[in-house]
Amino acid sequence: MPTVYLDNAATTRLDERVLDAMLPFLKDEYGNASSIHHAGRKATVAVEEAREKIAAFINAKPSEIIFTSGGTESNNCAIKGVLKATPKRHVITSRVEHHAVLHPVQHARNEGVNATFLDVKPTGHVTVDQVREAINDDTALVTLMHVNNEIASVNPVKEIGLLCAEKGVPFHTDTVQSIGKLPVDVVDMNINFLSMSGHKIHGPKGVGALFIKAGSRWKPWMEGGSQERRRRGGTLNVAGIAGLGKAVEIASAEIEKNNLHIRELKTRLVAGLKNTFPGLIAFNGDIENGASHIVNCSFRLDDQKSLDGEMLLLNLDIEGICVSNGSACTSGAVEASHVLTALGMVTPTAKSSLRFSLSKFNTVQEIDYTLEKLGIIVNRMLQTADV
Q: Which amino acid is at 155?
A: N
Report the greatest alpha carbon distance in the chain.
71
Cβ atoms of 207 and 234 within 8 Å: the answer is: no
**Which helix or strand (DSSP H or E) is residue 193 part of?**
strand 193-197
Residues annotated as part of the active site = 329
Q: For 142, phi and psi rounded to 5 degrees?
A: -110, 125
Q: In whole angstroms, what is the distance from residue 337 CA to residue 346 CA?
A: 11
Q: For 317, phi and psi rounded to 5 degrees?
A: -60, -35
Q: Is the pLDDT of residue 327 over 70?
A: no
Residue of 357, 331, 335 whose CA lies nearest to 348 = 335
The structural domains of the chain, ordered by start, are 4-11+255-384 (3.90.1150.10), 16-251 (3.40.640.10)
Q: Is the pLDDT of residue 345 over 90?
A: no
Which pLDDT tens digit goes with each residue over 156-198?
999 999 999 999 999 999 999 999 999 999 999 999 999 999 9
Q: Please give the pLDDT value at position 33.
A: 86
CA 330 to chain centre: 14
Q: Is the pLDDT of residue 330 over 60?
A: no
- C-beta neighbour count of 315 within 10 angstroms: 18
Which pLDDT tens digit goes with each residue over 119-162?
999 999 999 999 999 999 999 999 999 999 999 999 999 999 99
Q: Is the pLDDT of residue 387 over 60?
A: no
Cβ atoms of 52 and 62 within 8 Å: the answer is: yes
Average pLDDT for 291-310: 88
For the chain, give the mean pLDDT.
94
Average pLDDT for 342-352: 85
Q: Please give the pLDDT value at position 257.
A: 97
The structure's pTM equals: 0.95
252 or 32, higher pLDDT: 252
Which pLDDT tens digit goes with each residue over 33-84?
888 898 888 999 999 999 999 999 999 999 999 999 999 999 999 999 999 9
Residue of 296, 323, 256, 251 whose CA lies nearest to 8 = 323
